[in-house]
Amino acid sequence: MTDKAIPPRKRDGTLRDSLIEVGITLLREKGADGLSLRACAARAGVSHAAPTYHFKNLKGLSTAIVARAFNLFARSMETSIADAPDTPRARLAAICEGYLAFAKAHRELFLFMFSGLELNGDDPEFKAASSRAYAVLSEISAPFAGPGDDPEEIELLIWSLVHGYSHLAMINKKRPRSKGNDLPPLANILRHMDIKPSGT
């Protein structure tokens, strides 16, 4: 053991948020494999034991990071919808654009939050953030569920389309026969969806 002084733990209530932000930075720089409690502590300038006070383990830190990501994700969709005309089709296009904007702006978070990693599913912050994001999808999808339709199936149809498109756009993949480097605009693809707002 050395005589090197251990940095004191911050006691102003900001350490937890600081560690989450440091974790996000590490994800952007090194990917999921570079994320650890010890690395976050070192980057934040605190003792290696300090993060365990807030998160207990890496699973806890990962859950907090994903909760933060879901709130950013929901905000991106909500902001896009707020600027859209108040019609079901326009709002659907807006949620898709907000989804895509988040994926492009926060590539590493997008991959991390949908990677299937084990999280603390009962964590209140995580539950609230993920529910907030899904509520946006559910609200936008509801007008497209007709009589006899299962609303969840419509939600999954729309979610699958926009998530798949966003993932392809984010990693810059295209079909071999596509021309150029860009995918067709999402708005063009949405026109082919054979669903209409109920009552039309």
User: What pLDDT, on a 0 to 100 scale, did the predictor assign at position 119?
Assistant: 92
For position 3, what pLDDT does the model report?
37
Q: Are residues 43 and 113 in the same domain?
A: no
pLDDT attached to residue 71: 97
Is the residue at 1 inside a domain? no
- Is residue 195 situated within a structural domain? no
Backbone angles phi, psi at 49, to 5 degrees: -90, -15
In this predicted structure, what is the pLDDT of residue 113?
92
Write down the pLDDT at residue 51.
84
Per-residue model confidence (pLDDT) at position 70: 97
Q: How many domains does the chain have?
A: 2
CATH number at residue 47: 1.10.10
**Backbone dihedral region of 13: left (phi > 0), alpha (psi from -120 to 50 degrees) or beta?**
left
| Dihedral of the alpha carbons of 93, 112, 56, 8, in degrees to the nearest 10 | -90
pTM over 0.75: yes
Is 196 a domain residue? no
Domain residue limits at 42 = 7-56
8 Å CB contact between 186 and 96:
yes
Per-position pLDDT tens, the chain of length 200: 343 433 444 454 688 999 999 999 999 999 888 899 999 999 988 888 888 888 989 999 999 999 999 999 999 999 999 999 999 889 988 998 999 999 989 999 999 999 888 899 999 999 999 999 999 999 999 988 888 889 899 899 889 988 988 888 777 655 555 555 577 777 777 777 666 666 55
Q: Are residues 155 and 100 in the same domain?
A: yes
Residue 183 is predicted with a pLDDT of 75
